[in-house]
Structure 1
């Protein structure tokens, strides 16, 4: 089998900028000529074996990072955005999108921001909202979308926050008891913690320095909320510095992102990176065993597994998603090549939608995307009771999965016939950009294909995709 050539010009430029070296100095340290380095940085030549060895030996660089990054996400996001009817029928081929993502990632991000701004303006005009009559209203990306993309393009791994959470988890006076450690840290600053059945999930009064948690919430939720407040009070400088680097467009986006970072800290403290990665490998990623060991919920464990992307100590690259009963994606992250629809719901053939029908059970699925990549997907419903009779119950379904080549590292792959082609179900990203012609669950026609209408013939679909 021929070896795939590695073109990683943008990543090489990023590494050089991080090291503060000129092209001439960087070329000398890598043992190549200046013109050769220039050609590699502009993707006119693939990265050579000599350069890979030099990066590892000279700089201790994890060369696997060269093959990762934003490229696949950018291609997927641009492909979906270009399926918008505003661009008509002339969609650039995937090869051009890959070239753009590899050679001009900043341009790709700018295009996505422009398209998001266009969608925002169309939505406002359609609803006669701020675009009509409010003085001083300015067009900008939705704060939720801006924060979602921030974590999306960070691989959902924030190194400084993750390390800080790990230090807090390992340095307290109570081994393996993160809640007691957190309460002790807060007590040093005169902050006391109590529970109350009438309180919201978390409430902090700066005047009295009392943190109140809901006694109706499960223990893992109480611990999580306690750690969120600890992050806001004790890690504020770190959170603010991270937000400064992100350069959000609005205060609303910055506020949402700060809560996202505090939540990230809480999850990383409950499940500190090194110990959690070791336990995940030991248990072969058994979510229930990990939940018991770390005093966390199934959803918290699944989300944490999808963040194990620390350079030099990476775990299995997972995707993680949470959907509501309407099929809307409320959380999403992918460290794999599988990307989720930015706009709309997920593929209806995906097992995450069937999880609502079998509460309390794990569903396993072998799936194949239109690009030929195969995955193992695990889905389960997640119910969040209100804590008393008559309180509303929030219901979600979560899915966790990875490429099938990692199946031996998952207990959930045991007994599955991964060697049989017919065992893999065809799934996609979303109907409007899915190229499958014979999908029986298609909700809308693909925007990049012509349709053939036969008035005197009706199959599963009222049209035929050409």
Structure 2
């Protein structure tokens, strides 16, 4: 997708600050005429100049560059592509719409979210009504009561000559049936109210997704806090469980015991680790408890300062996401982790073994390596359960992770379920001609007790195929595009003709496979 026009943002911000073009141009070290061209989007702007203009306006470069609006434009494009009834939107038209009327664009997205939530709730209620015997019986009872009340009411209306005794008898029947109807309706409402999923404009999880994308899933202040905490603990590359537990007890008075986990929490002074869980899961859990104790104020400050997290539930979820980020930064220190990733050509399993993490934890950390001047390969991230429910999505330019629909069935994200504990690489050829290297693996989280079901997920990373020579999984394709698999993002947005996995007709005009 093309970039959002930045000039309009600069002009509006300058006018808000009551600055003239000449004043801002002088502060940024450019001519007034050049600033005029920038404000009318006739000259591109980025890097140092954008930072100077942002500093002169007293704002951050991310706000001027429209990072949040870029996500908004991507969401609108996805909605257009996944709904057959909507016209196909050109990227430039969407960018112009978002750039010129961001409030209306957000309102449109909010309307779509409300429609989607309402549709899902109606479908869930319909499904529950059709499958629950109690609700079916109540539905028939309610209809029977309504019919009875109507019949006796018509008798009273049409036969005014009834004697007083008959009138009292029919009125009593109506009252009794009305009481029964009310009771049945209340019971039905109680049963239906237990159905999960209530209509809402945007879920807390979606707000947190927007929050992470706005920050490019990189938080320098949390990286600095992790480095400082690692120094206090006195360990570098690999922090042991013992060191974390010692810090929890000496600094916060919280004791860690290797016993079956109960309801004990850090607030009770005890953390009980269940030995049935994997060692890497327990280590990450301890790290998260530690950062939540050591940096509670920092986590809360970042969450409270964000306008993207509007509700208490979203802020709570966002705070947990930041705590997980900080725990990851503590266990996988930025500089050593990036150096190892480059040396070992992003071999996820080798990195996981060296730093003591799981496949998913290591993949998460690779996505956050976005420090300016010391960046890793930009990866997209997506997780799916066996039913195809997508979570923990993070997109990169060109490779959008689906938000309102399932991903392409030909992705290794789904193929990995057929080969548990084996990495499945794929060179994906998109309908627009772009190539991406996708890497997926099925990960199992075993049950912690007898009779408890385990959980199964597939985790996928993706990046531009141009980075394939730097990645060990790219060797499988030897730099040749001939081994590429024709894929898409999702059925409705994919224009490939003759795809054997197609589930829905394409919105776009078909193109040859």
TM-score class normalised by the smaller sequence = 0.7 to 0.9
Query: How far did 1:324 drift?
Result: 0.8
Matched length: 436
Name which of 209, 212, 215 aligns with 1:154. 215
1:298, 1:231 → 2: CA distance?
Answer: 22
TM-score (norm 2): 0.75
- Tell me what 1:195 maps to: 258
Name which of 455, 462, 474 aligns with 1:394. 455
- In the alignment, structure 2 segments of 5+ residues that lack a partner are 127-188
1:308, 1:98 → 2: CA distance?
Answer: 28
- Whether contact under 8 Å (1:203, 1:213) holds in the other structure is no
Give the helix-richer structure, 1 or 2. 2
- Tell me what 1:214 maps to: 274
Q: Where do 1:188-337 residues align within 5 Å?
A: 188-196=251-259, 198-199=260-261, 203-207=264-268, 209-247=269-307, 248-337=309-398
- Whether contact under 8 Å (1:362, 1:378) holds in the other structure is yes
- Whether contact under 8 Å (2:360, 2:459) holds in the other structure is yes
Q: What are the superposed Cα offsets for residues 73-118 of structure 1, whole Å, 9 maximum, x if unpaired?
A: 4433111223465x94434322201333455556544432332133
User: What is the DSSP-based 3-state SS (H/G/I as helix, E as strand, rest coil) of the residue aligned with 2:371?
Assistant: coil
- Whether contact under 8 Å (2:425, 2:473) holds in the other structure is yes
Going from structure 1 to structure 2, the CA distance change for 1:189 and 1:179 (only over 3 Å counts) comes to: same
TM-score (norm 1): 0.81
- Tell me what 2:244 maps to: 182
Going from structure 1 to structure 2, the CA distance change for 1:192 and 1:418 (only over 3 Å counts) comes to: same
1:353, 1:296 → 2: CA distance?
Answer: 23
Question: More deviation in 371-380 or 72-81?
Answer: 72-81
Query: How far did 1:144 drift?
Result: 2.1
Going from structure 1 to structure 2, the CA distance change for 1:119 and 1:174 (only over 3 Å counts) comes to: same
1:303, 1:14 → 2: CA distance?
Answer: 37
- Tell me what 1:114 maps to: 111
1:314, 1:335 → 2: CA distance?
Answer: 14
- Whether contact under 8 Å (1:169, 1:181) holds in the other structure is no
User: What is the DSSP-based 3-state SS (H/G/I as helix, E as strand, rest coil) of the residue aligned with 1:431?
Assistant: coil
- In the alignment, structure 1 segments of 5+ residues that lack a partner are 451-463
2:358, 2:401 → 1: CA distance?
Answer: 24
Question: More deviation in 359-368 or 173-182?
Answer: 173-182
Going from structure 1 to structure 2, the CA distance change for 1:424 and 1:398 (only over 3 Å counts) comes to: same
Question: More deviation in 69-78 or 259-268?
Answer: 69-78
Query: How far did 1:14 drift?
Result: 10
Which has more radius of gyration?
2
2:11, 2:243 → 1: CA distance?
Answer: 42
Q: Where do 1:377-388 residues align within 5 Å?
A: 377-388=438-449
Query: How far did 1:333 drift?
Result: 1.2
Going from structure 1 to structure 2, the CA distance change for 1:128 and 1:52 (only over 3 Å counts) comes to: closer
Query: How far did 1:159 drift?
Result: 2.6
- Tell me what 1:47 maps to: 44
